[in-house]
Amino acid sequence: MLMGVYYIVIESSYQWLIVMFIGILLSILGGDIGTHRYLAHRSFKTGPIRDSILKILSVKNCLGSPMTWAIIHRYHHINSDTSGDPHFPDGIKSWLTLWNPSSPWWDIKISPRPKDC
């Protein structure tokens, strides 16, 4: 890991730092703004072009389908800190969530249309 940091800071060219910075910004746009604020919480409305762009950018974060992520996140808010919470710290599930946030999602049994938060 230290060799990677050394290479990024000392050995690489500034072009790669710019590419890395743009990649981080696109991840933030897709993950936080796209899936979390737009799809899960419906914090704002947008047109069809921006809708498609936000959904495409959200796939970059490798968290699965944007709509599935939004449904599970809404379900999380409905059942926060209970045993029905998909992120409830219960045994091995908490370790799986810690190391890979998307890992326990495939075995979650939820209704297809949870209530809006």
Predicted confidence (pLDDT) per residue in 53-87, tens digit: 888 888 877 777 788 888 888 888 887 777 777 76
Average pLDDT (1-11) is: 73
| Alpha carbon distances (Å) from 14 to 17, 26, 29, 71 | 5, 18, 23, 40
Nearest to 54 by CA among 46, 20, 70: 46
Predicted confidence (pLDDT) per residue in 19-60, tens digit: 888 888 888 888 888 888 888 888 889 999 998 888 888 887
Please state whether the predicted TM-score (pTM) of the whole model is above 0.75: no
